Chain A
Amino acid sequence: MTRPAETRLRVGVDGVRARAVAVDGEGRLVAVHRGRRGDSPARVLDALFRRGAGTASTDRVVAILPDLTLAGSARRARVGVLRIGAPAATAVPPLAGWTTERASLAGPVAMVGGGHEYDGRVAAPLDVPAVAAFARTCAGKVDAIALTGVNALENPEHEQLAAAVIAEELGPDVPVVRGAETEALGLLERENTAVLDAALARAARAHIDELSASVRGHAPGAALYLVRGDGTVLPALDGYRHATAWRGAALGGLLHGAARLAGVPSAIVVEVTADRAVVGTTIDGLLPDSGLPREIDGVRTGLRAPRLTVIQRRDAAFTGRLHAALARAGGGPDELPVVLVGEAPDDLPALPGIAPIRPEDGDLAAAFGAAAAEAAGSVDRIFWQGTGGGQDSVTRARMLALDAALRAGADPRKLRETPVREALMTYVPVPAARLQVTAVGPLLELADVAAVEP
Chain B
Amino acid sequence: MERVTESAIGDIVRGAVHFGSGGGGDPHLGGQLLTAAVRQYGPVPLVRAEALAPDALVLPVVSAGAPYALLEKAHSVHEAEALRAAVEARAGRECAAVLPVQLGSANVAVPLAVAARLGLPCLDADLMRRTLPSIDMTLLRLLGHPVPPVTLVGCTGAQVEFSSGDSAVLSELLRAVMPGLGLVALASAYGVTAGDCARLGVDGSISDCARIGAALAAVTPGSDEGYAPFLHACGGRMVCTATVAELVQHSTDGWPRGVVSLNTSEDFVRIDFQNENLIVSRSGTVLATVPDLISLADADTGILLQTTDLALGQDVHVITSPVDERWHTPAGLDLVGPRAFGYAVDPVRFDGTATLVSAGPR
Contacts and interface: CB of A to CB of B under 8 A. Distances in A.
Interface residues of B, number: 64
Given A92-B33, A331-B315, A426-B67, A123 B182 contact: yes
Contacts of B179: 430
Contact of A185 (B23, B64, B71, B275): B71
Given A291-B309, A291-B310, A425 B301 contact: no
Interface stretch (B76-84, B92-100, B160-168, B204-212): B76-84
Given A123-B182, A290-B311, A424-B308, A118 B300 contact: no
A358 interface: no
A221 interface: no
A29 interface: no
A289 interface: yes
Interface stretch (A81-89, A205-213, A340-348, A367-375): A81-89
A430 B39 CA distance: 35
Contacts of B66: 425-428, 430, 432
Contact of B74 (A91, A423, A426): A91
Most buried by A among B35, B157, B183, B243: B183
A310 to B, nearest CB: 10
Interface string B54-91: 00000000001111110111111111000000000000
Given A91-B33, A92-B32, A422-B249, A428 B178 contact: yes
B33 A427 contact: no
B155 interface: yes
B156 A124 contact: yes
Contact of A426 (B33, B157, B275, B311): B275
Contact of A332 (B39, B182, B183, B313): B313
Contacts of B338: none
A288 B312 contact: yes
Contact of B75 (A91, A151, A289, A424): A91
A300 B74 contact: no
B113 interface: yes
Most buried by B among A86, A115, A307, A428: A428
Interface stretch (B253-261, B280-288, B342-350): B253-261
Interface in A291-328: 291-293, 300, 307, 309, 321, 328
A137 B258 CA distance: 50
Nearest to A429: B254
B75 A291 contact: no
Given A87-B156, A118-B182, A426-B23, A92 B311 contact: no
A50 B78 CA distance: 64
A307 B310 CA distance: 13
B72 A382 contact: yes
B23 A290 contact: no
Contacts of B254: 429-430
B65 A427 contact: yes
A150 interface: yes
A117 B71 contact: no
Given A185-B68, A331-B315, A434-B308, A89 B31 contact: no
B5 interface: no
Main secondary structure of the interface of A (DSSP, over half): loop
Interface string A156-191: 000000000000000000000000000001111100
Interface in A89-117: 89-93, 96-97, 115, 117
Given A328-B315, A429-B251, A291 B298 contact: yes
A291 B309 CA distance: 6
A96 B39 contact: yes
Nearest to A328: B315
B140 interface: no
Contacts of A331: 243, 263, 313, 315
B314 A290 contact: yes
A118 B23 contact: no
B232 interface: no
Contacts of B243: 328, 331
Contact of A187 (B71, B133, B250, B298): B71
A88 B155 contact: yes
Given A115-B73, A425-B66, A428-B178, 7 more contacts: A88-B156, A97-B32, A188-B28, A290-B314, A300-B28, A429-B251, A431-B251
20 contacts: A89-B76, A90-B78, A91-B33, A91-B74, A97-B31, A118-B72, A123-B73, A123-B182, A185-B68, A185-B71, A188-B71, A292-B303, A307-B314, A331-B243, A422-B249, A426-B67, A426-B274, A427-B64, A427-B133, A428-B183
Top 3 closest pairs, chain A to chain B, by CB: A291-B311, A96-B36, A424-B256
Interface of A: 85-93, 96-97, 115, 117-118, 123-124, 150-151, 185-189, 281, 288-293, 300, 307, 309, 321, 328, 331-332, 382, 422-432, 434
